[in-house]
Amino acid sequence: MDTTDPSAKSLVQAWARWALVWLTFFPLVGVLVSIQFHNPEFLGGISWFTFGRLRPVHTNGVIFGSFTTAFIALLYYFLPRLCGTPLYKAEWGWGLLWLWNAFLVLGSLSLLMGYVIGAENAEFEWPLNILRYVVFVGLTIQVLGTIFRRRAARFYVSLWYALAAAIWTLLNLLIGNDSRAYVPSGIDPQQLTPLLRQYPQLIRVFAHPAAGSFPGKSLYNEVLPPIETVAILMPEFLDDEVLGLDGLEVHYPGHAPEHEQLMAAWAENYGLLLTGGSDCHDRVERPLGVTGVNQAELDALLARLR
């Protein structure tokens, strides 16, 4: 595969065309997600198109569909030119292209169906991770084979980047998720649900749901979602098969008054308890007793415990 080989040109063009396809499709999914920020009811009646399923399709699709496909096309273009030698195992490129597209299509469908690992930008289940890994193994062999067989005396910086990217990606995918070197954070609600059913006396409360929309400077703005996102996810939190919430922490030092009114309306609409008073960690901004429930709300909480 030299620079004048028509098959080389057609292979690069094929990968580039598919990059344009995914560069069009997955950002359009992002448009649907952005609409749900402003209109939480949009497509809310269809489980496949809820925010919690569309968002990973968008983020993973842009990363692996739009950008990575284009990067591979670019890699196939410059690698033989800088090395002065045909691409090693160039015929593999066509099979890898179809395996890659199969991964993107099947992976997106699996996310829409709810099959997901709870890790940011690494949500694909392992059967699909294996398919992706096969593609990257083949690509890495092509990169290494081409570089080690190069005829050009100079070793360009771009080749170092290509070499590092191929090896780093393989290692990252191998040890990044579900391995002994990776400890996921958080709790999978599907694992928590059987425990909650075993102890029905437990009261499930959503702590400070609007802290992510705190109007001032706060760490919560960085680590917690805004209340608009919480509104989109509420139907899933209320689902008995997921969490089945019993209450909302409405009264909280980091809640704006308008957010407290909104969440009180949610509680009334969904029949939830109102709680408050968590995170009293200091004696200045959040002292003990700075906010909490009134007598009626306390009585309702105690009645549920009996």
CATH number, domain containing residue 205: 3.20.20.140
Claim to verify: residue 166 and residue 225 sit in the same structural domain? no
Q: Are 55 and 86 found together in one domain?
A: yes
Residue 188: the pLDDT is 66
pTM > 0.85: no
Residue 267 has pLDDT above 50, yes or no: yes
Domain boundary among 150, 175, 200: 175
pLDDT in tens, 17-61: 999 999 999 999 999 988 887 787 787 678 888 888 888 999 999
| CA quadruple 174, 129, 224, 49: dihedral, nearest 10 | 180
Q: With bands split at pLDDT 50, 70 and 90, how would you rate the model's confidence at 289?
A: low
pLDDT over threshold 70, residue 182? no
> Which has the closest alpha carbon to 116: 189, 193, 37, 222?
189
The answer on 112 and 209 residing in a single domain is no
Four-residue CA torsion sign, 121, 127, 129, 131: negative
Residue 203 has pLDDT above 60, yes or no: yes
169 plus 52 within the same structural domain: yes
Crossing angle of helices 6-38 and 227-238, in 10° steps, is: 90
Residue ending a domain, among 121, 147, 175, is 175
Is residue 181 domain-resident? no
Asked if residues 106 and 128 have their Cβ atoms less than 8 Å apart, the reply is yes
Residue 199 predicted with pLDDT over 80: no
- Confirm if 125 and 110 have CB atoms less than 8 A apart: yes
Query: Is residue 26 within 8 Å of 61, Cβ to Cβ?
Result: yes
Domain range for 198 is 189-305
- 113 with 241, same domain: the answer is no
- Is 184 domain-assigned? no
**Res 184 pLDDT > 80:** no
For residue 157, being part of any structural domain is answered with yes
pLDDT at 222 over 70: no
Neighbouring CB atoms inside 10 A of 201's CB total: 7
Does residue 1 lie within any of the structural domains? no
Q: Encoding tokens for residue 92?
A: 């593999």
Q: Which residues pair with 205 in a beta bridge?
A: 247
Measured between its terminal Cα atoms, the distance across the chain in Å is 77
What is the rounded average pLDDT of the residues 201-223? 73
